[in-house]
């Protein structure tokens, strides 16, 4: 089994790791950030799990882009697990449609509620959601091990505008308190940040994943919109440290 994941603040990374620990079969986890420039991805495994955070009721652009580059083994069993704070929206239908366009079938989908890292999510850390994370994953494991196939039905909506392509639509930028430490450069999955004269400059290849925003040690990164919450308190999963997120770009 192989689990592909994307994670900016650790909710999805920890979920993938916990799943790997709990599952009673050989299971590898691979970060899609590390595959950003791979023209073709050959999983070898025929049980394939996709773990991703919900962005605007859809999946992150990089995740969609990665799936399009996978050469699926014949008769793969494919499942998806979304992490989210409020609602997974139509992500299962988006995933189903994407896989169908590639001649594949989404057999099973589930989700795990965890603290929100977006500007729209409540700016507090929900201790209960963190406490229940392992238990919620434990409930999914038998379905995966038994290769449960669900009927996934519903009208497929258009992909979210924000996720359809990389673009800095939130106006993410660093203010004058930037100390030029380079942390944001190291965590950005899109290599979209450059240090110019000791100041972080953010380009247009942005997924709005907010890794830079949450991991900047001096909270210099902010968004132009929405103004009211563009300086929300920073979050990362307590079991994830900065080197874990940096490592995800190469492993
Ligand atoms: C750009 C963006 C959009 C988001 N949109 C949603 C959403 O539509 N629904 C929701 O429940 N959570 C949403 N979230 C919250 C994340 O899905 C959630 O916090 C996720 O677990 C973060 O995963 P990570 O820590 O692995 O990066 C959004 C987060 C970001 C950064
Ligand atoms: S992480 Fe923050 S302080 Fe460090 S370079 Fe980036 S914006 Fe500047
Ligand atoms: S610039 Fe920041 S928000 Fe945009 S993709 Fe890079 S780390 Fe994510």
Distance 213 CA to ligand 2 centre (A): 9
Q: Where are the domains of the chain?
A: 2-145, 163-247
141 Cβ below 6 A of ligand 2: no
Determine the distance from the C-alpha atom of residue 150 to the mean position of all C-alpha atoms in its chain, rounded to a whole number. Answer: 23
Report the alpha-carbon distance of residue 79 to residue 147 in Å, rounded. 9
* Percent helix, strand and coil across the chain, each to the nearest 5: 30, 20, 50
What pLDDT is recorded for position 124?
A: 81
Query: 2-145: which CATH number, 3.40.190.10, 3.40.50.360, 3.40.50.720, 3.20.20.70?
Result: 3.40.50.360
Per-residue tens of pLDDT for the chain, all 251 residues: 999 999 999 999 999 999 999 999 999 999 999 999 999 999 989 999 999 999 988 999 999 999 999 999 999 999 999 999 999 989 999 999 999 999 999 999 999 999 999 988 888 889 999 999 999 999 999 999 999 999 999 888 877 666 567 888 889 999 999 999 999 999 999 999 999 999 999 999 999 999 999 999 999 999 988 887 788 999 999 999 999 999 998 87
Per-residue model confidence (pLDDT) at position 228? 76
Q: In the prediction, which pLDDT does 8 show?
A: 98
What is the 43 CA–ligand 3 centroid distance (Å)?
27
- Determine the pLDDT at residue 9: 98
* Nearest protein Cα to ligand 3, atom 4: 206
Does a cis peptide bond (omega within 30 degrees of 0) precede residue 51? no
Architecture (CATH level 2) of domain 163-247:
2-Layer Sandwich (3.30)
Our separate counts of H helices and E strands in the chain read 7, 9
Q: Tally Cβ neighbours within 10 Å of residue 23.
A: 19
Q: How far is the CA of 88 from the centre of ligand 1 (A)?
A: 9
- List the residue whose alpha carbon is closest to atom 2 of ligand 2: 216
Task: Give pLDDT, residue 120.
Answer: 84
CB of 188 sitting under 6 A from ligand 2: no
- pLDDT computed for residue 165 by the predictor: 78
119 touches ligand 3 (CB under 6 Å): no
Answer whether 212 contacts ligand 3 (Cβ < 6 A).
yes
14, 17, 91, 120: which to mutate for ligand 1, most atoms within 8 A of CB? 120
Q: Is the CB of 140 under 6 A from ligand 2?
A: no
Cα–Cα nearest to 238, from 138, 112, 121, 129: 129
Q: What separation in angstroms does the CA of 4 have from each of 12, 31, 64, 126, 248? A: 10, 6, 12, 26, 11
Cα distance between residue 93 and residue 111, in whole Å: 13
Residue 117 CA: distances (Å) to CA of 10, 37, 66, 141, 203: 10, 26, 22, 25, 21
């Amino acid at each position: 089994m192989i689990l592909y994941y994307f994670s900016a603040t650790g909710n999805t990374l920890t979920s993938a790791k916990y799943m790997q620990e709990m599952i009673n079969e050989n299971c590898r986890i691979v970060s899609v950030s590390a595959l950003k420039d791979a023209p073709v991805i050959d999983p070898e495994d025929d049980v394939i799990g996709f773990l991703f955070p919900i962005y605007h009721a859809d999946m992150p652009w990089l995740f969609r882009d990665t799936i399009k580059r996978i050469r699926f083994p014949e008769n793969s069993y494919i499942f998806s697990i979304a992490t989210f704070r409020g609602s997974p929206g139509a992500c299962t239908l988006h995933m189903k449609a994407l896989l169908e366009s590639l001649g594949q079938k989404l057999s099973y989908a589930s989700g795990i509620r965890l603290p929100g890292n977006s500007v729209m999510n409540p700016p507090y850390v929900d201790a209960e959601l963190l406490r229940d994370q392992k238990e919620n994953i434990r409930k999914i494991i038998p379905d995966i091990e038994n290769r449960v196939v669900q009927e996934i039905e519903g009208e497929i909506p258009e992909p979210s505008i924000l996720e359809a392509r990389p673009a800095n639509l939130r106006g993410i930028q660093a203010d004058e308190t930037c100390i030029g430490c380079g942390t944001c450069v190291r965590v950005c999955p899109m290599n979209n940040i450059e240090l110019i004269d000791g100041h972080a400059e953010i380009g247009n290849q942005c997924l709005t994943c907010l890794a830079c925003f949450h991991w900047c040690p001096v909270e210099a990164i902010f968004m132009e919109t929405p103004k009211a919450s563009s300086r929300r308190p920073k979050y990362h999963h307590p079991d994830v440290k900065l080197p874990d997120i940096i490592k995800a770009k190469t492993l």
